[in-house]
Amino acid sequence: MPDSQARSRAVRAVIPAAGLATRFLPATKAVPKELLPVVDRPVLQYIVEEAAAAGISDVLLITGRGKTGMVDHFDRQPYLESRLEAKGDLERLAAVKHTSELAEIYTCRQGEPLGLGHAISYAESHVGQEPFAVLLGDEFVDTDEPLLPAMLELQARTGGIVLAFLEVDWAETSRYGIASVEKAEAPLAAGVAGTAGLGDVFRVTGLVEKPPAEKAPSNLAVVGRYVLPTEIFDAIRRIKPGAGDEIQLTDAMALLLAEGVPVHGIVYRGMRYDTGQPLGYLQAVVQLATKRPDLGPAFTDWLINYVTNDLGGTPTTD
């Protein structure tokens, strides 16, 4: 694929959120994990805010059975708004309206959760001929250390697939998709270079699903942000069910890589919140609560007191 400055930057995002969320059962039996609250807003709102902050105003939510509440969260609520207005509660009124002003939200349903690749295939008619971003519905990054703008810029320049990497402990490679990489010829462009939290850019030469440390080609784990060209849809059609008997996005990306589509990854060293399982979710709640200007000071005091006096631990600072 020839390099070109003329390619357009992705303007749409797809959020696959139709999975069964088994790691969070029984909470997720009736409530989607994407709607679990982190301080005062659902996880999904943080993700749509991340997309909106990167200039994406068109978001397609892939939902499934029992997940209609996700779309309702971004809808207007005229009755609630008029009650808040009548009470003069302008702060909460603004917060309620804000969710419906973030982006144009579209939705479609994945009839059966047959895998991430299968979920993304539902986006084909919506995204048309343009590259698009994929943001998994259970993780997000700190607003002060954005990742998506650099990924969008790199994809517009390379025309291929752009991934994001976390440098994980070698003992943890077996929990992630791991990339083999070489030095990239496409460093970050002015405008996004120097953004807090961003590390090196690598060219990807291979992808391995959940390798043990001794077989892992690197400790660069693929996290839940992708910018994809439209060729991915045809690749998804051409692959067979893989790990877990699911249609895997990783397999479709590996097929395109083998066919010469450029694949790059940006190392992310900023704060990432993984709310797809209880421990990561609890960490996200505590970290974001302590950062809040309104709740943070009182919550942090309570937390230090709880850890020191009730748990008998010695808090450390870093």
Q: Which residues bind ligand UTP (CB under 6 A)?
A: 16-23, 62, 110, 113-116, 118-119, 136-138, 276
Nearer to ligand UTP, 17 or 152 (CB): 17
Nearer to ligand UTP, 224 or 262 (CB): 224
Name, in order, each residue with C-beta under 8 angstroms of 109's C-beta and a sequence gap of 6 or more.
18, 62, 63, 64, 122
Q: Are the CB atoms for 286 and 186 separated by under 8 Å?
A: no
- The Cα–Cα gap between 28 and 31 comes to 5
- The Cα–Cα gap between 167 and 78 comes to 45
- The Cα–Cα gap between 112 and 89 comes to 42
Token pair of 129, please? 């001929």
Q: How far is the CB of 15 from ligand UTP (least distance, A)?
A: 7
Q: How far is the CB of 269 from ligand UTP (least distance, A)?
A: 22
Nearer to ligand UTP, 40 or 112 (CB): 112
Q: How far is the CB of 308 from ligand UTP (least distance, A)?
A: 34
DSSP letter assigned to residue 173: G
Q: How far is the CB of 113 from ligand UTP (least distance, A)?
A: 3
- The Cα–Cα gap between 152 and 213 comes to 31
Nearer to ligand UTP, 33 or 157 (CB): 33
- The Cα–Cα gap between 87 and 261 comes to 57
- The Cα–Cα gap between 262 and 279 comes to 35
DSSP letter assigned to residue 187: P
CA angle 217, 155, 62 (to 5 degrees): 90
Nearer to ligand UTP, 63 or 219 (CB): 63
Nearer to ligand UTP, 71 or 186 (CB): 71
Q: Are the CB atoms for 122 and 108 separated by under 8 Å?
A: yes
Position of tokens 């001794």?
Answer: 214
Instruction: Pinpoint the alpha helices (H) of 201-293.
Output: 231-238, 249-258, 278-291
Q: How far is the CB of 117 from ligand UTP (least distance, A)?
A: 8
Name, in order, each residue with C-beta under 8 angstroms of 111's C-beta and a sequence gap of 6 or more.
64
Name, in order, each residue with C-beta under 8 angstroms of 89's C-beta and a sequence gap of 6 or more.
none
Nearer to ligand UTP, 94 or 243 (CB): 243
Nearer to ligand UTP, 120 or 201 (CB): 120
Q: How far is the CB of 43 from ligand UTP (least distance, A)?
A: 10
Which residue lies nearest ligand UTP, judged by its C-beta? 19
Q: How far is the CB of 207 from ligand UTP (least distance, A)?
A: 16
Q: How far is the CB of 162 from ligand UTP (least distance, A)?
A: 18
Token pair of 110, please? 């994945």
